[in-house]
Amino acid sequence: MKKYIAAIAPVVLISVCLPSAEIQHISPKTAYEMTKNPATYLVDVRSIAEYYLVGHPETAINIPFTFWSETEQKFIPNKNFAEDIKLRFKSDDVLVFICRSGGRSVIAAQATLSAGFTNVFNVTEGFEGKPDANGYRSIGGWKNSGLPYTFAIDSARIYHQSKNKEKDKK
């Protein structure tokens, strides 16, 4: 038993002393300020339809965490999300995730941490914010904070399927 403890003690000590990567939760305004740095990327994980039809932050790059299925009438997971992120970014890039209201983006951020990325942030209020008493998304969020957004489509920022998509179809 003493040999076992002596053998694992250094591993435990190292794991306790090393900083572990965590998702940092930030406001839309903080995210906006961060994206002024060209080494920071805003990743919009909403579906392609949401990105196109609801609008998006001007600098956002769309990599959907889920896709809308017309046949199933529900969101289905992007099985290649982690691979899509790895193809687009380096593991030490600063990635700020945003979705409609902060739910999908925190899950996407966690998946990105698990994929080996270390500088991961989540916009807690999302793009549209939370619903008010009437069900309208008017409380908080990027859009309601008066931050710049657009409906314009930039081919460098829209979602492009990874090469793995072809493998999934076979």
- In contact, 127 and 139? CB cutoff 8 Å: no
| DSSP summary character for residue 163 | T
Give residue-wise pLDDT tens across range 144-163: 999 999 999 999 999 988 75
- Half-sphere exposure of residue 149: CA atoms within 13 angstroms, side-chain side: 22
Give the closest residue to 159 by CA, choosing from 85, 108, 71. 85
> Quick one: pLDDT at residue 2?
46
> Quick one: pLDDT at residue 155?
94
In sequence order, the 6+-apart residues with CB closer than 8 A to the CB of 72 are: none
Q: Where are the domains of the chain?
A: 20-169
> Quick one: pLDDT at residue 14?
34
| DSSP summary character for residue 99 | -
> Quick one: pLDDT at residue 91?
94
- In contact, 85 and 92? CB cutoff 8 Å: no
The pTM (predicted TM-score) of the whole model is 0.83
> Quick one: pLDDT at residue 161?
81
The CATH T-level fold of domain 20-169 is Oxidized Rhodanese; domain 1 (3.40.250)
Low-confidence ranges of the chain (pLDDT < 50): 1-19, 165-170
Coil, strand, or helix at residue 157? coil
Give the closest residue to 110 by CA, choosing from 155, 65, 59, 147. 65
